[in-house]
Amino acid sequence: MSDRDGAFAEYFAARSGAMRGTAYLLCGDWHRAEDLVQAAFTKLYVNWNRVGRHDALDPYVRKVLIRTFIDDGRRGWWRRERLQEPPVEAPAAEHSADDRVDLVRALAAVPPRQRAVLVLRYWEDMSVDDVAAALHCSPGTVKSQAARGLDALRSLISHPVTAE
Amino acid sequence: MNGNDLREALRATMTATRTPPPMESAAAVASGRRAVRRRTWTGAGATAALVAAVLVAGPLIAGDRSGDPVQAGAPPQPTPPASTPGVTTTPSGAETKPSWPLDGDGQPQEDATARSGERYEKGRQLLDELLNVVPEGYTKPEGTARDGIPLREHQAAVEAHDSWGYLASTAVSDGKGTGRLLAEVHTPGNGLSTEPCKLAAEFWGLGGDCHVVRVGGARVGVASASGSDQRIDQWAAYRHPDGIVVYVAQSRTATNDDPGLAPLKKLPLNATDLAALTVDPRFHLN
């Protein structure tokens, strides 16, 4: 195993779980979450020498993951190719399971960019400026998208969406 | 549900959700190697075709296709794992729940953004003033870009130390391309720098290459994008004596990710005009 492989594998083992959690909240599906993580880390591997030198691995992977998620949504490949799969998996524990399903399902119904802002701001706890840099938009847009996303979420939770 | 409620709900959801087994590092390495091999092969293939055309040679050596390009210098080290969002590190909602100012309806705001009332109207006023300074020859498109970002927008949000920030942006089109003008005003107590170029560097944390432009007696920082962050091409920053900070910015692109809108070839304003707008009393909003 080369030096790159070793360092990459170590980083993957340390961070892929957290990235997969973020991806799951973005897309509401563990299979697709793993696809997104795989795509992001593959790109990292290809650009390892360039990115690794700048101590910017997490922001880089997160940015690729988010962009892949948004671009896939724009192309609609997921909707076409995985039409038969349920959009959300049921949580393990039984108590309060409905609430959790509702939250993930409601989140999945929020427009992708707003959803990305909500997940980065409130799950990843990233600052407005960092979210803006990750999404390549203005901090003001992050704030407005967060406000709209929360509005949408409130509405969806008070009027639950029906799974297709 | 506000931001704090969502933060807690996400933690609770992820704590209770059954996660699949960890992903395999070996599979990730293999996938990365395949991607490198494809890239190496593509480059090598093009080179081989060129060589073949010149030499009409026999078997060609397409270079190292091991997937491990020679590394210059020491191998990169992974950054320490960043703090993973987790229940244990999250203060309880009761401790962190912010109290928001009253909105126009007399009820506390849902979050930092005003949705009605005096502050909301200040944001709208900023947009009106921004639309008034769009140079002749440019239209001001409305609607929403394909990436979901409005082409015209205003906002008022409470910031640290009870300072308020007003933001307005509008797309501007010369008929061939579409770019954007923005104005951002921060009321006193904003904690922003007093030095013009430091002030400019603080805009969206962009840094940039800055020089000072004099507008009458005022010293305005005018900065241009540098490095990889190209969200804004040029911006000016001025701090009024009373502490109000005004940024005016412009970019060749209307939104950052919409591939459907061609960018402007030329920025709408020159540096002097941009600087003058930051001092303009129309943008001096408290």
Q: B233-275, pLDDT tens digit by residue?
A: 999 999 999 999 999 999 999 876 666 789 999 999 999 999 9
Beta strand pairing status for B164-173 and B234-239? unpaired
Q: B179-232, pLDDT tens digit by residue?
A: 999 999 999 999 999 999 999 999 988 889 999 999 999 999 999 998 777 789
Q: Determine the residue type at A161.
A: V
pTM listed for this prediction: 0.62
Alpha-carbon B232 to chain mean position: 8
Q: Determine the residue type at A14.
A: A
| Cβ–Cβ below 8 Å for A136 and B33 | no
Mean pLDDT of chain B: 80
Asked casually if ipTM beats, i.e. exceeds, 0.90, the reply is no
pLDDT on residue B127: 97
Out of B42-51, B104-113, B177-186, which region has the weakest mean confidence (pLDDT)? B42-51
pLDDT on residue B139: 97
| Cβ–Cβ below 8 Å for B28 and A42 | yes
**Minimum distance, in Å, between the CA of residue B207 and any CA atom of chain A:** 13
Contacts of B254 (CB under 8 A, 6+ apart): B141, B145, B151, B171, B172, B173, B178, B179, B180, B261, B263
Q: How confident is the model at residue B105 (pLDDT cuts 50, 70, 90)?
A: confident
Neighbours of A62 (CB within 10 A): 22
Neighbours of B101 (CB within 10 A): 14
pLDDT on residue B285: 96
Per-residue DSSP letter, B56 = -
Give backbone dihedrals phi and psi of B229, rounded to 5 degrees, phi first: -85, 105
| Cβ–Cβ below 8 Å for B82 and A38 | no
Per-residue DSSP letter, B184 = E
pLDDT on residue B39: 65
pLDDT on residue B114: 87
pLDDT on residue A140: 86
Query: Which chain A residue has its CA at the smallest distance from B87's CA?
Result: A123
B64-67 long-range CB contacts below 8 Å, 24 or more apart? B64/B40, B65/B37, B65/B40, B65/B41, B67/B33, B67/B34, B67/B36, B67/B37, B67/B40
Name which of A3, A49, A144 is nearest B155 (Cβ-Cβ): A144
Residues from chain A contacting residue B73 (CB–CB below 8 Å): 53
- Best of A1, A12, A121 to disrupt the B interface by mutation (most B CBs within 10 Å)? A12
pLDDT on residue B1: 77
- How many A-B residue pairs are in contact by the CB < 8 A criterion? 208
Neighbours of A68 (CB within 10 A): 19
| Cβ–Cβ below 8 Å for A123 and B10 | yes
pLDDT on residue A105: 86
∠ CA A37-A39-A44, nearest 5°, is: 95
C-alpha span between B154 and A140 (Å, rounded):
9
Residues in chain A, pLDDT under 70: 1, 52-55, 72-101, 159-164
pLDDT on residue B136: 95
**Minimum distance, in Å, between the CA of residue A92 and any CA atom of chain B:** 5
Per-residue DSSP letter, B282 = G
The conformational region for residue B189 under phi > 0 = left, psi -120 to 50 = alpha, else beta, is left
Cβ proximity of B117 and B158 under 8 Å: no
| Strand-pair partners of B224 | B209, B234
Out of A22-26, A133-137, B69-73, B147-151, which region has the weakest mean confidence (pLDDT)? B69-73
Within the 48-77 window of chain A, which residues sit less than 8 Å (CB to CB) from chain B?
48-49, 51-53, 55-58, 70
Domain boundaries, chain B: 59-86+100-283
